Amino acid sequence: MTSDAFLVRDSGPLHGEVVTGGAKNSALKLVAAALLAEGRSVIENVPEIDDIAAMADVAVALGAEVSRPEPHTIVLDVPPRLEVVTHPNLVGRLRASIVVLGPLLAREGRARLAMPGGCNLGNRSIDLHLAGLAKLGAEISYGADAIEARVDGRLRGADIELPFASVGATENLLQAAVTARGVTRISNAAREPEISDLAAFLRAMGGDIQGDGTSEIVVRGVDALAPAHHRVIGDRIEAGTFAVGAALTGGDVHITDVDPSHLHLPLEKLSQMGADVFATDRGFRVRGTGGLRALDIVTLPYPGFPTDLQPQFLALLSQAQGTAIVTENVFDGRFSIVSELERLGAEIELQAHHAVVRGPRALSGAIVAATDLRAGAALVLAGLAAEGTTVVQEARHVDRGYADLAARLTALGADVERRVDDRVAVSS
């Protein structure tokens, strides 16, 4: 049986400039938010990735017309009434499809949503979404296959304290509350830059939102929203992935079209490991100096270290001098990459939600499999540091979040190609 795979060969340092695409984790939610207003909304700087295509299909199934008049731009023409039932074949492709629940309740007062899919990262409960929406007045029932929700009249404002600073729950509640009657206060809200990007779009549509970027967001409900024009922020996780690639290969890469402050802690960690990191007028530059030093990493909600960069840093730490402990506090399935890195020669010991990484260890090419989106990208980076050829199977996972990763790495001097054939001889 064959499937898409990356073929990665050791090819020396990465050099050059890479333009960061629009943030996947923002653009997905902006497509959902456009459903809140009848008429035409335009979203620019949208990445051309599989997850966006899946979310666009969800919007179409709900009644919107979606077009791409030019690359990286999506236009949504939203009708006066939306469909309220989503098909499992659509939402099963995408975890983020849960965020259409808030807009459907706000617009139509009811929704039936098939259980969302996406990467298998362990326990990612949607209970916080549902509990918050219930506080806004929604009646919710769900089983193994679908969620049903309805509200009698309009949603109403409420004080909601999230037990965990969930990004998805904060986004869903923002969209539901923006046209709810009265004031909603979301305490322990997620603080990610993507939350602020969503809030900016909702304000452009006429919403009254304050406090995004802090742990308390206040939403004063308005009667209705209007369509708007918005540009997506740069993808900090994609930028961080290329930054790790520069440090891992001892290269020198200028990463543009992204706000370095969105990566404050990861860039600080790279600097502490021995890389040179410089802010520029268009982004930032990372220069690997050799002799990486091990350090500990603990993933936490923003502004803590992002779980979406943890696999990339695991690959990097395998080449650092000393012992590092990586603690995962966000997704309990994130360490699925460890066995694949070990195939390449990394020495990593798992202890509950900690990974002990001892390095540096020489890596050798092997056949490995992407277990999820970020693991796939990390394995491609590890292949750059491995002797011989590394085959990263299940490349489809990477397509969910990185547009044309092989070509972009090749432009930086890497030897990476994409093939629809996973049965490739591996040299050593």
Distances in whole angstroms, Cα of residue 160 to Cα of each of 107, 177, 182? 21, 11, 13
Pairing of strands 15-19, 5-9: unpaired
Q: Among 27, 37, 98, 119, which one carries the catalytic annotation? A: 119
Assigned token pair, 53: 């295509």
Q: Is 235 a catalytic residue?
A: no
How many angstroms from the chain centroid is the CA of residue 219? 25
* Binding-site residues from annotation for UDP-N-acetyl-alpha-D-glucosamine: 95, 308, 330
Look at residue 400 and give its three-state secondary structure: coil
**CA 157/CA 220 separation, integer angstroms:** 8
Instruction: Give the residue ranges of DSSP H helices in 219-371.
Output: 236-249, 264-273, 310-317, 338-344
**CA 299/CA 189 separation, integer angstroms:** 17
Q: Is residue 386 within 8 Å of 10, Cβ to Cβ?
A: yes
User: What residues contact 347, with CB distance under 8 A and at least 6 apart?
Assistant: 318, 357, 358, 359, 361
Phi, psi at residue 359, to the nearest 5°?
-150, 180
* Binding-site residues from annotation: 24-25, 95, 308, 330
**CA 308/CA 225 separation, integer angstroms:** 33
Residue 123's CB is within 10 A of a number of other CB atoms, namely 7
> CA-CA-CA-CA torsion for 104, 106, 108, 109, nearest 10 degrees?
100
Instruction: Give the residue numbers marked as catalytic.
Output: 119
